[in-house]
Structure 1
Amino acid sequence: MPEFRYNGKLYYNPVEFAMDRIGGTWKMPILWRLKDRVMRYSEIKRDIPHISDKMLTTQLRELEADGFIHRKVYPVVPPKTEYSITDHGKKAIPIIDTIRSYGLALMEEAGIGH
């Protein structure tokens, strides 16, 4: 496949393009948690304790910009914001499930408990 550009970035293959959208340490865990329910920022933060506030905010913004999640802000005091997965985001869940299963199998082979 020939190289291509998207939003000013050069990509060499579709896997690289996909991983740029959902890869990294935090995007897949965020999507995984939103697959079955709507969550508030604080719930996501509590569920993923090792992520910093700055990183969580950045990852949520990127997932929203790429159409994987929806952010709904309620006009109340104090502010209430909820995050939910979109239909586009739901398409990534089978891939995340496969990667997760593979990771669990590798952990088992390595003698790592989970």
Structure 2
Amino acid sequence: MSTDNYCPLHYTMNLIGSKWKPLVLFHLLKGPLRSGILQKKVPEISNKMFTQTVRELEKDGLITREVFPVVPPKVEYALSARGKSLETILKALDQWGLDATKA
């Protein structure tokens, strides 16, 4: 990556700046979740957007995906070490939203 016009915030927003990524990451802060449970924690997200979001987060190294060899298939998502490094940011955003709704 060129350092000309490099903006760390731009880089961060490219990784987590979509509508759904911060929500998915936030819900994984407490630990791994099965795919269906994670999707239910973000009820407004469509199946297509959920799949796209977790694939992008996995590609960017923010979450891990584990497939268990059982029938029916069991898929579990968890934060990677890189994803866990976002905890302070995600909790601050959550607190800001809580404070803003009280104002």
- Give, in whole Å, the separation in 2 of the partners of 1:103 and 1:2: 34
TM-score normalised to structure 1 length: 0.81
- Residue 43 (structure 2) aligned to one of 49, 63, 80: 49
RMSD over aligned CA atoms reads 1.4
Larger Rg: 1
TM-score normalised to structure 2 length: 0.89
- Identity across aligned pairs (percent)? 37
- Following TM superposition, by how much is the alpha carbon of 1:3 offset from its aligned partner in structure 2, in angstroms? 2.0
Letter in 1 for 2:56: E
- Unpaired stretches in structure 1, ≥5 consecutive residues: 5-12, 110-114
Find out whether 1:2 has 2:4 as its counterpart: yes
- Give, in whole Å, the separation in 2 of the partners of 1:2 and 1:23: 22
Matched length: 101
| Structure 2 counterparts to residues 1-114 of structure 1, below 5 A | 2-4=4-6, 13-109=7-103
- Unpaired stretches in structure 2, ≥5 consecutive residues: none
- Following TM superposition, by how much is the alpha carbon of 1:2 offset from its aligned partner in structure 2, in angstroms? 2.8
